[in-house]
Amino acid sequence: MATSAAAAPPPTERKPLYKLLYVQVLVAIMLGVIVGWLFPHFAQNEWIKAMGDGFVKLIKMVIAPIIFCTVVSGIAHISEVSKIGRVAVKALVYFEIVSTFALALGLIVANVVQPGVGFSGKTDAAAVAGFAKKAGEMKSVDFVLHIIPDAVVGAFAQGEILQVLLFSILFGCSLMVLGERGHTVRALIDDLAHAIFGVIAIVVRAAPIGAFGAMAYTIGKFGPQALGNLAGLIATFYLTAILFVVLVLGTIARIAGFSIFKFLRYIKDELLIVLGTSSSESALPQMMEKLERLGCSKPVVGLVVPTGYSFNLDGTNIYMTLATLFIAQAMGVHLSFGEQMTILLVAMLTSKGASGITGAGFITLAGTLAAVRPELVPGMAIVLGIDKFMSECRALTNLCGNGVACVVVSWWEGELDRTKLKAALEQEIDPTDIETAVTTG
C-alpha cells in the first residue's frame, strides 16, 4: 500500500506565465502583427522570413524519425497481427465519415451566406497557372504509387510521411513476428524515441521566434489591406471552421466521453504554434507525444495521426467546398444541386494526400475546380491574395480533427486510458512539461 501511495504523482506547481509556451507564442504572434503592420519593409527582410521557415524546417527534421519510432514501437509490442488492420480500417472509416461532414458543412454555409454574391474583383488566369498545372498532375494512381518509396533512405530524407509510415508498418510487423529475437531492436527503438522527443523539447523552445518571423513577414508582405473586401470570405471560413469544431467534433467528443473545450485547452500550445507558422506539421511531433500522455495507446497514435495528415484534413475539406462556391458566385456561375454533389465527391478524392504544409489546400482547390468546372479555375486568382490567411484556419482545423480522431479511435478500439484522459483534461498534470514526459515515459 505504501508503494502505491509513493507512486502517486505529486501535484504540479504552476509555472509563471512568462515561462508558458503558449503565452510566449501568443506574445510573439502579437509582436509579429505589430511589426509587420508598422514596419512592412523591415518585416519583408529575408532573415525575418527565415525565422518562420527555419522553425518549420527544424520540426520537419524530426517528423520522419519520430513517426518511425512511434509506429514501429507500437506495432512491435502488439500480440495479435489482426489488430493493426483493425485499427487502420476503423481510422479510415472515421476519416471518411467526418470528412463528408466537413465538405457538406462548407457547401451548406456557402449556399446560406453566399459570400461571393456581388463581388466585383478581377481574375487573372496567369496568377494561378502554376497551381492549376500541379493540380492537373494529381492522379489517383500516381498518389497510390507514390506511397511506395523508391528507396527507404529517400523517404526519410525527403520527409514523405506516407512513405515512412508504410515502411514503419512493415518493419514493426517484422519485429512483431520475430518475438523475443527482436527484443534488442525494440528496446533500441524505444530509447531512440525518448532521445528524439528530447530533441523536440529543445527545438520547441524556438517556437516563439518562428511564430514572430512567420507572422511579421505575412502581415508585412500582404498587409491589412490584403483582407479588403475579401474579409467576408475569411470571416465566413473561420466561423464555419469554428462551427465544425464545436458542433461536429464536439458531438463526436461527447459521444466518446470527453469535452472538446477541455481538449482544445489541452493542446493550446500546439494550436498557437500552428497559428504562427500556418503549418499543422509544425506541431505533429508534440501532438503525438501529448496524445500518448492523454491516454491513447501508442499503436493507435502511431497509425492514426500520421495517416490523418493525408486522409483527415477537415479544414482543407471545408475550405474546398466553401471556396469553390465563393468563386462560382463571384464569377456569376450557377452550380446546380447535382454539380454541388459532384464537387463534394471530387473534393473527397482530391483532398487525399494534401499535407498540412502551406499552399497544399490551394493546389487541391485547383484540382477540384479543374475536375468539376474548368472555367472556374481562373477565378482562383480572387482568393490567391488571402490564401495565407486562410491556411492558418485550415491547419488549425486539421490539427483539431486529427487529435479528436486519435482519441476516438483509441476509445473505439478499447485502448483509451480514462484515468490519464481525466487527469490531462482536468490539468491535474502539466501538459506543457515535455521534458518530464520524456524522462518519465
What one-character-per-residue DSSP string does 322-357 give? HHHHHHHHHTT----HHHHHHHHHHHHHHTTT--SS
Question: Is residue 1 included in any domain, yes or no?
Answer: no
Answer yes or no: are the C-beta atoms of 99 and 348 closer than 8 Å: yes
**pLDDT, position 227:** 52
Residue 194 forms part of a structural domain? yes
110 located within any domain: yes
Residue 11 within any structural domain of the chain? no
SS3 category, 338: helix
Domain extent, residue 204, equals 16-440
- The answer as to whether 6 is a domain residue is no
CB 416, CB 296: distance < 8 Å: yes
Residue 364, in any domain of the structure:
yes
Whether 7 is covered by a domain: the verdict is: no
CA-CA-CA-CA torsion for 434, 390, 100, 283, nearest 10 degrees? -10
pLDDT at 377: 75
pLDDT of residue 351: 64
Q: Which pLDDT score is estimated for 202? A: 86
Residue count of the chain: 441
Return the closest-CA partner of residue 75 out of 304, 416, 357, 323.
304
4 in a structural domain: no
* CATH code for the domain of 420: 1.10.3860.10
Q: Tell me the pLDDT tens digit for each residue of 102-157.
A: 999 999 999 998 887 766 544 444 444 444 455 455 555 666 777 788 888 888 88
Question: By C-alpha distance, which of 102, 139, 203, 175 is closest to 435?
Answer: 203
Give pLDDT, residue 384: 65
* Number of domains into which the chain is organized: 1
* SS3 at position 325: helix
The reported pTM is 0.69
Give residues with Cβ within 8 angstroms of 338, minimum separation 6: none
pLDDT of residue 25: 82
Block residue for cell numbers 482547390 = 365
Q: Which residues of the chain have pLDDT under 70?
A: 1-15, 18, 78-82, 118-143, 222-230, 349-364, 367, 371, 381, 384-388, 428-441
